[in-house]
């Protein structure tokens, strides 16, 4: 069994191939869940992206590690936007954060209300 763990396939350790397989299948299943309108798909993507960042960093593939780190950032942004649009699937830990974002957006929208064409904007008091 130990020989299998230290052996290599095309110069890459077998354990690396196995973890990449798990990460890729997790990412695929995450995409499938998102296609079925489930927020849990983002969480699976986060798991796979963390694994792929670590694996690529170990192998010295820094640009690939950066790519998966950027994908990880997109997952977090996706969870935040999803939580705003689908409150029933929102994790409880994001309730306060989403509410603060909604209020900040409302204040920004009110401050930027355009005036009617030909009528100068009234100064805010």
pLDDT, tens digit, 9 for 90 and up, residues 27-41: 888 888 888 878 888
Residue 122: per-residue pLDDT:
59
Residue 2: per-residue pLDDT:
53
pTM for the model: 0.63
What value does the mean pLDDT of the chain take?
79
**Tokens 């830990």 found at:** 93
Residue 87 pLDDT > 70: yes
Burial of 55 per CB tally in 10 Å (0-12, 13-18, 19+): buried
Section 41-53 average pLDDT: 91
Cα dihedral across residues 67, 73, 77, 83: positive or negative: positive
Contacts of 121 (CB under 8 A, 6+ apart): 114, 115
Of the pLDDT bands very low, low, confident and very high (cuts 50, 70, 90), residue 62 is very high
Residue 117: per-residue pLDDT:
61
């Amino acid at each position: 069994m130990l020989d299998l763990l230290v052996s290599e396939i095309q110069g890459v350790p077998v354990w690396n191939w196995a973890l990449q397989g798990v990460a890729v299948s997790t990412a695929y299943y995450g995409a499938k869940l998102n296609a079925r309108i489930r927020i849990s798909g983002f969480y699976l993507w986060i798991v796979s992206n963390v694994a792929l960042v670590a694996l690529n960093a170990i192998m010295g593939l820094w640009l690939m590690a950066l790519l998966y780190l950027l994908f990880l950032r997109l997952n977090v942004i996706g969870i935040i936007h999803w939580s705003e649009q689908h409150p029933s699937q929102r994790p409880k830990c994001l309730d306060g954060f989403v509410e603060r974002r909604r209020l900040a957006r409302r204040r920004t929208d009110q401050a930027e209300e355009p005036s009617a064409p030909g009528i100068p904007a009234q100064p805010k008091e």
